A = this chain, B = another copy of it.
């Protein structure tokens, strides 16, 4: 968690630092992000950085938690727009939330991705723990448990593998989406279409439905 001094900063400066950090980490990933470049881009002195954060790790934690909170809001929003609480609806909400978040906060998304790749760091475990405590996870757990009990799912799927596949497929689609956006060819209908595609692939695979 950042020091008091950071919280006390004028909003403008705070944002300047935050977006420089976000940009740097999104671009270079967790391991190669450099304090030197961040302070240069934010137009603050090197020493000031350590006035605000213990060290690099401290900054990472701040950004990771922020990303987590932000994404959670998108998830809740999507879930509140959703009609049912059946497996398909919950997956759809999760995908829609995730995709909107990734598209509208590309930097946060990339930072989170990069952090989730560092499977050994404490930070990774903190983020996983946080995600597992969310309402969405609770719902998913319950709904998947029921679906498995009812024999609705392929009998070899474990809940653990299910989650990995679910998030993996979502990540694949979000990255595809981000690339498409960078390439220029994107309109709003694409998001809905791709989201539905993701849901259908999870449920019914790549075959024509």
Contact = CB atoms under 8 A, between A and B. Distances in A.
B202 A205 contact: yes
Interface in A171-209: 171-173, 175-176, 193-194, 196-197, 200-209
Interface stretch (A1-9, A16-24, A37-45, A148-156): A148-156
A124 to B, nearest CB: 14
Contacts of A206: 153-154, 157, 162, 165, 202-203
A29 B119 CA distance: 12
Question: Binding site of A, secondary structure by majority: helix, strand, loop or mixed?
Answer: helix
A164 interface: yes
A166 to B, nearest CB: 9
Interface of A: 29, 31-32, 117, 151-157, 160-162, 164-165, 168-169, 171-173, 175-176, 193-194, 196-197, 200-209
Nearest to A147: B206
Contacts of A194: 156
B208 A152 contact: yes
A199 to B, nearest CB: 9
B29 A153 contact: no
A164 B175 CA distance: 9
Query: Which of A169, A196, A206 has the most chain B CB atoms closer than 10 A to its own CB?
Result: A206
Given A161-B176, A193-B156, A151 B208 contact: yes
A165 B201 contact: yes
